[in-house]
């Protein structure tokens, strides 16, 4: 099970390095599925969209984390979060439990004949 991002599927302005790295995870998933299939090993990937965590709260409500003795504010621009919700068919970002559900899908026996796939857990917003 590998974890990627919808930024790998569509790119994201200002995130060339992140999008490229996450696209590499998808390529690795496909290659490993071909290499390890003969050993009955399934390799799949989940690409998350916006999942609401402490790192993705609005900067208006965000706290800070201490890194190397410095307080670093975390969070996303409030207007960006609002825009995301408006563009997403479900009208919101995902929850951590919903993100875990995407991973669980590939860990269940019902997915035994699925390999080399990437599923976007993003409320259909890619």
Active-site hit among 1, 10, 12, 18: 18
Whole-angstrom distance, CA of residue 20 vs CA of residue 22? 5
Q: Could you confirm whether 113 is annotated as catalytic? A: no
Q: Which helix (DSSP H) or strand (DSSP E) does residue 57 occupy?
A: none
Q: Is the Cα torsion angle 21, 23, 79, 102 positive or negative in sign?
A: negative
Catalytic residues: 18
């Amino acid at each position: 099970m590998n974890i990627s991002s919808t930024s790998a599927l569509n790119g994201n302005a200002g995130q060339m390095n992140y999008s490229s790295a996450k696209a590499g995870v998808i390529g690795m998933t496909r290659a490993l599925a071909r290499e390890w299939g003969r050993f009955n090993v399934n390799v799949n990937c989940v690409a998350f969209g916006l999942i609401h965590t402490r790192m993705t709260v609005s900067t208006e409500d965000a706290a800070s984390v201490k890194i190397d003795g410095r307080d670093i504010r975390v969070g996303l621009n409030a207007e960006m979060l609002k825009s995301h919700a408006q563009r997403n068919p479900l009208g919101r970002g995902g929850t951590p439990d919903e993100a875990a559900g995407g991973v669980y899908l590939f860990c269940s026996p019902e997915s035994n004949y699925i390999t080399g796939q990437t599923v976007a857990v993003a409320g259909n917003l890619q």
